[in-house]
Structure 1
Amino acid sequence: MTDTRWRGGALIRPGILAFAGSIGTTTSHSHHAVQVMTADTPLTVADGSGARHCGTQVVVPPDTAHHIETGAAHGVVVFLDPDTAAGRAAGHRAHRFGWAGGPPLPAPATVDGDLGALVAVMVGALVPDSAPAPPARHPSVTAALALLPALVADGPVTTTDLAARVGLSTSRLTHLFGAQVGLPLRRYVLWTRLMIAVTEVGAGRDLTTAAHAAGFADSAHLTRTCRNIFGLPPSALSRTVTWDTDPPR
C-alpha cells in the first residue's frame, strides 16, 4: 500500500468539493457523494467485496463501501452531490463501464493547475449536453439565494419560512429552486452550511466555532455531516490543504 498523504488545494461550491494534489490512502468507508478521481499514475480502489479497481481514472458510486489502497503523488478528486446532473451522470458511468472504465476524463494537468477550470471541464465531460445556458432565475430564487447564508448561520432553515420571505408558496419555491439552481433546496442548504464551516476552518477557527458559525448544533454534528457526504472528518485536510471558497449566492 502506498503511504501517500493528502496534501494540496481544494475548493467547495454548492454540490461540489474538489481537491488537487497528492491523493492519500484511506480506510474503508462510504459517503453520499459520487467520487471522481483522475491521476498521473494508476490508483487502486477496493470495494466492499474486496474487488480492486485500478486505473488513472476511478469513479466511486454514492453510498458504496470502498477504500483507496494506492494513491497518487498528483491527481484530482471531485466529490459530486448525486442530486446534481453531473453526480447522476458520474454514478451512471460507474455502473455502465465499471469504476475504472469509460471514456477518458480530464487529466490533472488539463487546465494548468486551475482547479475551478478543471472542475468545469470535468462536469462538461460527464454531462456533454450541459452547454445550453440556463434560463434567467426567478427574482424570488435570487432573493432566496441572497438570504440563505445568514439564515443557515442562525440555525435550522425551513422551506416554508424561506418561501414566505420571498413571496412564493412552498411548492412553487421548491420547484423553481431545483430547476434553476440545479440542486434541491434542502441539499443546497446543507452544502451552504458546509461551505461556511470550511471557510471558518480555513481561517483557523476550531471545529466548535466553525460548526456554530455554520448553524450546526455542535462540532460532532459537523463531523457526522462531513463523514456522510465525503467520508472524511472536517479536520482531516485542514492542516495540509489550502481551501478556495466562494460565498453561497
Structure 2
Amino acid sequence: MTIRPGLAHYRGALGANGLHHHHAVQVLISRGEPLIVGDAQGNEVECLAAVTPADIPHTIVRGVVDGEMLHAARESVYGSALEALVPEPHSAASWGQAGARLLELGVAGEWWRAGDRLNSPVAMPFRHPALVASMQLLPDLLAAGPVRLREVAAAAGISESRLGHLFAEQLGLPFRAYVRWLRLSRAVEFIARGSSLTEAAHLSGFSDSAHLNRVCHRSFGLAPTALTERIKFTVVE
C-alpha cells in the first residue's frame, strides 16, 4: 500500500468482508473477473469497478485475486470529485455506475495519481515556497502534540489565511485534514518498522493508542495493526 496525506492506494487481492463504513471515499477496481459489492439494503451489483462515498455502509460480497483499492479523504478535492460521480450515495448499483464512469476516463497504471482526469489535481507542478517550508516543518511538529495553522504560518512567514488557502489549492486538502493524514501515515510507518502501537501513537502526536486506533479505523475501517500485518507500506510525502 502507498499512503500519503489524503490518499491510500493498495494493489493485490480484495477479499470479501462484512458490512462496514469509514470516513474515506473508497474505489475498488478489479484487474480480472468482476467483483460484487453490496449496500446496507441488501442490494448487490457485479462490476469491474465501484466508487463508494464516505461514511456509507458497504460490503465486498465477492472479492478478486487481483484488484486495486483507493481510500481518498472526503475533504480532499480528489475525494469530492469521486463522490460527485455517484448519483445515489446509498445504492450499490450507483456505485457500480460510478466505477464504470471512472473506467471510461481511461484509468490505467498509477491512475490514482492522475487526479487531473477527474478535473481535480491532487498535486501541483508548482508549490508556493511558504507551503513547501510548512510541509518540511510539520514532521518535526507532530510528536509535540496539537499542530496549529497559526503557528506554522508564522514560522513560514506567511499569513494564516493565505497558508490555509495554499493547502487547499495546491495540495487539495485542508490543513487539519492534511495533518491528520500525515499523523496516520507516520504512525503506520512506525508500526511497520517494529514500534509498538503506543510508541507509534506517541511519536506521531496522537494522545494515546486508543486515539490512533479510532482515527485509523474511521479512515480505513481497520485498526493500524491489522493494516500492517497484511500490507507492505510505502509512505509518500
Aligned counterpart in structure 2 of residue 209 of structure 1, from 166, 181, 199: 199
Match of 2:132, SS?
helix
List per-residue Cα deviations over 1:43-76 (Å, max 9, x = no partner).
2221122221321111111110112221111100
The residue type equivalent to 1:12 in the other structure is: I
Aligned residues: 229
1:91 paired residue number: 83
The residue type equivalent to 2:94 in the other structure is: G
2:24 paired residue number: 33
1:161 paired residue number: 151
Match of 2:21, SS?
coil
- On the 8 A contact 1:29/1:67 being kept in 2, the answer is yes
1:103 paired residue number: 101
- On the 8 A contact 2:121/2:172 being kept in 1, the answer is no
Verify: 1:143 aligned to 2:143, yes or no: no
Let me know the Cα RMSD of the aligned residues. Answer: 2.4
The residue type equivalent to 1:159 in the other structure is: L
Runs of 4+ in 1 over 4 A off after TM superposition: 128-131
Structure 2 CA distance for partners of 1:181 and 1:129, relative to 1, 3 Å: closer
Match of 2:84, SS?
helix
- On the 8 A contact 1:43/1:58 being kept in 2, the answer is no
The alpha carbon displacement at 1:103 in A equals 2.6
1:73 paired residue number: 65
The alpha carbon displacement at 1:172 in A equals 1.9
The alpha carbon displacement at 1:169 in A equals 2.3
CA distance in 2, matches of 1:136, 1:119: 19
2:50 paired residue number: 58
1:119 paired residue number: 112
- Give me the TM-score of the superposition, normalised by structure 2: 0.88
CA distance in 1, matches of 2:213, 2:207: 11
CA distance in 2, matches of 1:134, 1:235: 33
CA distance in 1, matches of 2:209, 2:120: 40
Match of 1:168, SS?
coil
2:231 paired residue number: 241
Instruction: Compare the two structures and name the one with the higher helix fraction.
Output: 2
Verify: 1:13 aligned to 2:4, yes or no: yes
Among the aligned pairs, what percent are the same residue?
A: 38
Structure 2 CA distance for partners of 1:180 and 1:120, relative to 1, 3 Å: closer
The residue type equivalent to 2:180 in the other structure is: L
Structure 2 CA distance for partners of 1:201 and 1:170, relative to 1, 3 Å: same
The alpha carbon displacement at 1:104 in A equals 5.1
The residue type equivalent to 1:182 in the other structure is: G
The alpha carbon displacement at 1:209 in A equals 1.3
List per-residue Cα deviations over 1:202-249 (Å, max 9, x = no partner).
112221111111111111111100111111111222122111112x3x
- Gaps of at least 5 residues in structure 1 are 1-9, 112-116
1:114 paired residue number: none
List per-residue Cα deviations over 1:155-203 (Å, max 9, x = no partner).
1101121122112222222112211222111110001101101111111
- Gaps of at least 5 residues in structure 2 are none
1:229 paired residue number: 219
